[in-house]
Chain A
């Protein structure tokens, strides 16, 4: 179809000419309709604005003669006193309702409804012409009064709250953020299993505070505002500047925090290509993460930070290495860390996490695994990001954008399923197949006949061998599955399962992307 009522076929004046005999004059004033050049808003403004060239009216362009009939119906509808609320009014009503719910949620001790509602007095601006998106306050108030009258509710108006005299009247957002940030805690206490997690680091950085890790079950990240500050040293004094390593070492050495028996402290600091961790309480314990120096290091952290193709997460990792002084306390009685090594192709070097055989560090298994998983995942994502950017530079911008969106969608699908797994949702093999089929379904949802040679070429080009290989590697899909792209009917079974809602959410999320992708592919075929 199309419900494409905004753009459509090239206007053919013959087919959309307004004939006086076709349009009852009491419905559409043809002369006025022909006199006004532009269009926006309701039918009346449509008629006024398009009277010079009714063929350009979006409704008319889109619908031809059917549009004329529709205009008649719409005009009649607008005169109907029992006409229902418009989309604009509905949206505004929902918005008001959500605001009311939010306010009610924020005021749990509010008195019970006694039949009287306090309503803030709203000034109606004289120049309240909307921007075409939001309804006027007047119409909303009208609906509100109607609803109150229907329910027999007494409305009592109160004055809006006044601004305290000590508040600067012209305070900008930046000034407000700065003022409020002065009250932020300078230390952030986070559970041990979160210490290497991205969100913990994000939180700490957003608070401009030091990251610490303890095992007290009574202190949670969510209780930060209630946790007494352990150290009053602002993070700014503990940041290790990368251009002054001697000073960095000195600053790192000056970090002295309250410690507990049985806990060790590890300080990570950046030293060109290495990060060194030491335990001040037990100097025999050393955690070392270093870049293999046998290969020529081509990775410069400052260059990487300045690289515009790096996504936010990749930069984040660099910033963590560069700026964050992480103080961690670990449990005792854990197994030794042998050696973990992973290739980091984008940098042509290797990251090693190693501890000498006679050295032990009390890393809880969960923390250790999560940390390694975080590093590996982040580096792999960065690698995939670089590869994708390289690939998309070689294709047209429109298709590159679609490729980007589809790839991002696939990543989101995977991450959503991983979250479900981590949250303990029971996932059957059948559910996993559903997730995998979403990948297979992607080109199929573009409504393409994969057997058509042109389509096949485009799809194969869009899902280049490199990208397919990447997807195969990351999501462990078989080549046979990928070869199935667009070649079979697949309908997601909506039978209730732990992932039904997840699948539905994902499908809804990617739907608009798939639609756009379809158009781009269609355009490419023309």
Chain B
């Protein structure tokens, strides 16, 4: 279980949520976004993460963002504790 600190997400603005949704679609991450919830239970979601950090990703290409997400997923898979990083 992640720490309470990590479980407390800050509230996203509607613009951020919209941007997160846009990034998920633009980067072709719908399937991952849908399945990762099942894989990681109560950990953070791809969609939330992209919404939260979307403004940092505007200068990245969709392929780069997808690669980042996959790398993050891989990092989490190999995390022996299996705890959420959020």
Contacts and interface: CB of A to CB of B under 8 A. Distances in A.
A6 B47 CA distance: 12
Nearest to A139: B59
B59 A8 contact: no
A90 interface: yes
Interface in A126-164: 132-133, 135
Interface in A1-25: 1-10
A522 B67 contact: no
Contact of A4 (B23, B61, B62, B85): B85
A414 to B, nearest CB: 22
A41 interface: yes
A3 B3 CA distance: 18
A84 B63 contact: yes
Contact of B68 (A5, A7, A133, A522): A5
Interface secondary structure of B, over-half rule: helix
Interface stretch (A241-249, A302-310, A511-519): A511-519
Contact of B12 (A73, A84, A135, A516): A516
A70 interface: yes
A87 B67 contact: no
Contacts of B26: 87, 90
Nearest to B63: A84
A6 B51 CA distance: 9
A443 interface: no
A87 B48 contact: no
Contact of B7 (A10, A59, A90, A519): A519
Contacts of A85: 61
A4 to B, nearest CB: 4
Given A2-B46, A87-B57, A526 B86 contact: no
Contact of B49 (A2, A73, A77): A2
A90 B58 CA distance: 9
Contact of B52 (A1, A6, A91): A6
A55 interface: no
Contact of A3 (B4, B8, B42, B50): B50
A74 interface: yes
Given A66-B75, A516-B9, A87 B60 contact: yes
A447 B41 contact: yes
Nearest to B4: A526
A443 to B, nearest CB: 13
Contacts of A39: 56
Nearest to B41: A447
The size bracket of the interface on B is 35 or more
Contact of B45 (A1, A6, A10): A1
Nearest to A80: B61
Contacts of A62: 49, 53, 72, 85
Residue of B4, B37, B42 with most partner-chain A CB within 10 A: B42
Interface string A63-75: 1101001100110
Given A5-B53, A62-B85, A447-B37, A84 B62 contact: yes
Nearest to B10: A7
Given A85-B61, A86-B60, A447-B37, A515 B48 contact: yes
Contact of B17 (A73, A512, A518): A512
Contacts of B9: 516, 519, 523
Given A58-B56, A512-B17, A4 B4 contact: no
Contact of B53 (A4, A10, A41, A519): A4
B75 A4 contact: no
A464 interface: no
Interface in A22-78: 39-43, 46, 58-59, 62-64, 66, 69-70, 73-74, 77
Contacts of A516: 9, 11-12
A526 B44 contact: no
Given A2-B84, A74-B64, A87-B65, A7 B52 contact: yes
Nearest to A46: B56
Contacts of B76: 1-2
A259 B42 CA distance: 67
Contacts of A2: 36, 40, 43-46, 48-49, 72, 76, 84-86
A66 to B, nearest CB: 4
A74 B60 contact: yes
Interface of B: 1-12, 17, 20-23, 26, 29, 36-53, 55-65, 67-69, 71-76, 84-86
- For the complex of A and B, the 8 pairs showing the least CB-CB separation, nearest first, are A6-B53, A2-B44, A4-B49, A3-B49, A526-B4, A42-B59, A88-B58, A66-B75
15 contacts: A1-B40, A1-B44, A1-B76, A2-B36, A3-B44, A6-B53, A8-B85, A9-B6, A59-B56, A87-B59, A88-B59, A90-B26, A90-B62, A526-B1, A526-B3
